[in-house]
Chain A
Amino acid sequence: AQTVTQSQPEMSVQEAETVTLSCTYDTSENNYYLFWYKQPPSRQMILVIRQEAYKQQNATENRFSVNFQKAAKSFSLKISDSQLGDTAMYFCAFMRYSGGGADGLTFGKGTHLIIQP
Chain B
Amino acid sequence: NAGVMQNPRHLVRRRGQEARLRCSPMKGHSHVYWYRQLPEEGLKFMVYLQKENIIDESGMPKERFSAEFPKEGPSILRIQQVVRGDSAAYFCASSQQGLNTEAFFGQGTRLTVV
Q: Which B-chain residue is minimally distant from A109 (CB atoms)?
A: B42
Contacts of B31 in A (CB 8 A): 101-102
Within 8 A of A (CB), among B45-94: 45, 48, 50, 55-56, 59, 89, 91, 93
Of A13-21, A37-45, A58-66, A79-87, the one with at least 4 CB within 8 A of chain B: A37-45
Q: Which of B44, B45, B55, B105 contacts A45 (CB 8 A)?
A: B105
Q: Which B-chain residue is minimally distant from A32 (CB atoms)?
A: B101
Q: Which A-chain residue is minimally distant from B48 (CB atoms)?
A: A104
SS class of chain A's interface: helix, strand, loop or mixed? strand
State which size class the interface on A falls in: 20 to 34
Give how many A-B residue pairs fall within 8 Å (CB-CB): 60
Q: Are A97 and B41 in contact (CB under 8 A)?
A: no
SS class of chain B's interface: helix, strand, loop or mixed? strand
Q: Which A-chain residue is minimally distant from B46 (CB atoms)?
A: A104
- Min distance, Cβ A58 to any Cβ of chain B, angstroms: 18
A45-B91, A101-B98, A102-B31 given; A107·B105 CB < 8 A = no
Q: Which A-chain residue is minimally distant from B47 (CB atoms)?
A: A104
Q: Which of A37, A45, A95, A108 contacts B101 (CB 8 A)?
A: A95
What is the bound-complex CA distance between A24 and B107, given in angstroms? 27
- Min distance, Cβ A51 to any Cβ of chain B, angstroms: 12
Q: Are A106 and B102 in contact (CB under 8 A)?
A: no
Contacts of A50 in B (CB 8 A): 102
Contacts of B35 in A (CB 8 A): 104-105, 107
Q: Which of A43, A47, A104, A110 contacts B33 (CB 8 A)?
A: A104
On A, residues with C-beta under 8 Å from B are 4, 33, 37, 42-47, 50, 91, 95, 97, 101-110
18 intermolecular pairs with C-beta atoms under 8 Å apart: A4-B42, A33-B101, A43-B107, A45-B43, A45-B91, A45-B93, A47-B104, A91-B43, A95-B101, A101-B50, A102-B31, A104-B48, A104-B56, A104-B59, A105-B93, A107-B35, A107-B43, A107-B44
